[in-house]
Structure 1
Amino acid sequence: MSKATEPVRSYDRTWEEIETMLDRATVKMIQWKEWYEECKSNKDKQGMKESARNHKALQGVVKTLKWTLGEEGVSDPLN
């Protein structure tokens, strides 16, 4: 990656900010799962697809944040 395309990072997030983001992501993940179940009961295939996609994405966010915090039992989020 060349210097011109490297991201600028401050590395100034606190552990508290990361914990808060984890909490928020977990709540949103649960909400998408609930929405999926509601769409499933209503036979709303488009809603099911959207909610499943967002739920899965947030699972990755949650795992990555847990990995960042060094949570026991959380392996490499890329696997």
Structure 2
Amino acid sequence: MAIAAGATVVVVQTVLGHSSPVVTLRTYSHLFADDLDTVADRLQEAKIKADADQVRTDRPVSDLPMVKQEARHAG
């Protein structure tokens, strides 16, 4: 239940009193199988957000492609 709730290997180790994370992984590694997909999804979301934040903060609005295009059409 702890793994399904998002607990890390170290948390599960501590809760169950295992001597090391290796013991926990040997016993319950099959329950962590979906973690790779979850991490990949979260990394993708973080990258999209970071890219959006960088665009908002690194350049003046007049440098954005859509603003330049609108200025050409207006002129």
TM-score by length of 2: 0.40
TM-score by length of 1: 0.39
Larger C-alpha radius of gyration, 1 or 2? 2
